[in-house]
Homo-oligomer: A and B are copies of this chain.
Amino acid sequence: MTKSEFRSFIKEHPIYLDGATGSNLLKRGMPVGVCPEKWILENKNTLIALQKEFIEAGSNIVYAPTFSANSVKLTEYGLEREIEAMNMELVAISREAAGGRCLVAADLTMTGEQLSPMGTMDFEDLINIYKEQIGYLVRGGVDLLVVETMMSLQESRAALIAAKESCDLPVMVTMTFESDGRTLYGTDAKTAAIVLQSLGADAVGANCSTGPDKMVDIIRTMAEVTSIPIIAKPNAGLPYLDREGNTVYDMNSEDFAEGMAKLVEAGASILGGCCGTTPEYIDKLRERTSHMNLVKRQRPVKRYLTSERQTVEFGLDDNFIVVGERINPTGKKKLQEQLRAGNMDMVAEFAQEQEACGAGILDVNMGMSGVDEKELMLKAMEEVAGVTSIPLSIDSSHIDVLEAALRRYPGRALINSVSYEKIKFDHLLPIVRKYGAMFILLPLSDAGLPKSLEEKKDIIEKIALRARELGMDKEDIVVDGLVATVGADKRAALETLETIRYCKENGYATICGLSNISFGLPQRGYVNTAFLTMAIKDGLTMAIANPSQELLVCSAFASDLLLNKEEADIRYIELIGGIEAKKKAL
């Protein structure tokens, strides 16, 4: 099945997945504690019977029982040598059950080994583990892939990257959320959906977790922030132990189906059941929802950047965002020394300070001579993620550094930057697209700075056009207003302001550096701040600046307040309160 076939597979009404595999097999004789994949291979008719019942009940897609058939899990059972045969045979069993009447999805999940730095698993190693399993599954003849019951967004990314680099099959990804709406690793549904969609998932959703009744907010949030199909595959309510000590679920098939109808209203279009759901549940689910019309999805109006655990969202009329510029060794001797010694203390300190001062995004630049910039960048990203959940702007003049960072970054980053310089334009833009990042469009070319506003607009539109050809949207672009020095060109500020207005009118977010404008003038803070205030009034989305500059940041927050932006009054009062508390503490 191709990705585009998958898209047209979901039309006006829901489509159906299967119900539980594990809990049904346990009821049908599989002992607790065995390797399920091994048991299935030895009892294939039990699985075939179960899956046929699901298909009978209405499933359009069944999951091949390859859930834990990755090299890490199989090694636990001493089955590592059987991995190829097992995956291919397990797919064959489901294909036999399907008999051409429904699709078969290869099923993947977490390995159980934590990624470093929390665990010892290397990110690239994990990608390779998934690639290996996916290779066998594809050869086994699956129609699509599903990565499910994921609790780690970064491991989901590893599986998704592995899938994209192994085949062109559609990939669905579902994560499992705790009752607080976050995964065990701390990711919320919004962040998960944004990151997975931008990395190329063909459908995203939630499985296991809870009963459908407790999944409404998760599904609605995911539907609001994405445009791909949303999957809901919850449990049959909450588990409890019956008199015989068996785990049973507290929701009957009719209540389940009723709950699922609410999830359709919340935006789900691919429906199934997880633990505790039997073919009867799928039957009732289909009966209850198959004539429901799917929610008309609105294209998200906001832009999203995320870390692994938090999303910053913004529209063209929203509160202004400060991009903290301090994690950058240029001109900082002490930071340079620390970085050369592999010491990340100042990086962590700058991250925390900038967040405390109101930064909404942190720029990370490790450009300096005599170091392995790529290694330093990955290390800095990891360090920052340890102290703050603010999304990052990954800043380098080297494409290889940006590529390595994008691959590793566990959220949705901003890339700083893509220009119309041939090498960047040709090579970097596809990389940005592959990893689903947002990028700063720097309107300069190999000929240098644009000579006129017309040339600037022309470069903007050329890069935007190429991005569109690669499948990106205007919402993936943040145009750098290119601030010149007012001392050298008296119209510098006016021209940047015009660029900002042009971009806003044409649907592009904007960013500016601030210090250029005042070069050579005394008391530059006044000039920078006045410029920022005017730029915010004209629609500037974000600026890269040092958020410890109290005047600058307070003025920006005051500007939002004056422009009647959402909750800007509260934000201003809190910012001032924070600054005053900090001063009192000194």
Using CB atoms and an 8 Å cutoff, list the residues of chain A in contact with chain B.
486-487, 490-491, 493-494, 517, 521-523, 526-527, 529-531, 533-534, 537, 551, 554-555, 557-559, 561-564, 569, 572-573, 576-577, 580
Contact = CB atoms under 8 A, between A and B. Distances in A.
B562 A521 contact: no
Given A522-B576, A554-B523, A573-B521, A531 B494 contact: no
A147 B517 CA distance: 54
Contacts of A551: 526, 551
Given A533-B534, A555-B529, A562 B487 contact: no
Given A522-B580, A551-B551, A563-B494, A558 B573 contact: no
Contact of A555 (B490, B526, B569): B526
Nearest to A493: B562
The 5 closest A-B pairs by CB, nearest first: A493-B562, A533-B533, A530-B558, A526-B554, A522-B576
A477 B530 CA distance: 28
Given A555-B529, A558-B526, A558-B527, A493 B534 contact: no
Contacts of A522: 573, 576-577, 580
Given A529-B555, A530-B562, A523 B486 contact: no
A563 to B, nearest CB: 7
Most chain B CB within 10 A, of A517, A533, A557, is at A533
25 contacts: A486-B569, A487-B569, A490-B564, A490-B569, A493-B564, A494-B563, A521-B573, A522-B577, A522-B580, A526-B551, A526-B554, A526-B557, A526-B558, A526-B576, A527-B562, A529-B533, A529-B558, A530-B533, A530-B555, A531-B558, A533-B555, A534-B534, A534-B537, A534-B559, A537-B537
Contacts of A580: 522
Contacts of A534: 533-534, 537, 559, 562
Contacts of A494: 562-564
Report copies per complex. 2
Nearest to A553: B526
A567 to B, nearest CB: 10
Contacts of A576: 522-523, 526
A562 B523 CA distance: 14
Contacts of A561: 486, 521, 527
Given A526-B555, A537-B537, 12 more contacts: A486-B562, A487-B569, A494-B563, A494-B564, A517-B562, A521-B572, A527-B562, A527-B572, A530-B558, A530-B559, A533-B534, A534-B562
A522 B572 CA distance: 9
Contacts of A526: 551, 554-555, 557-558, 576
A583 to B, nearest CB: 11
A504 to B, nearest CB: 15
A482 to B, nearest CB: 15
Contacts of A487: 569
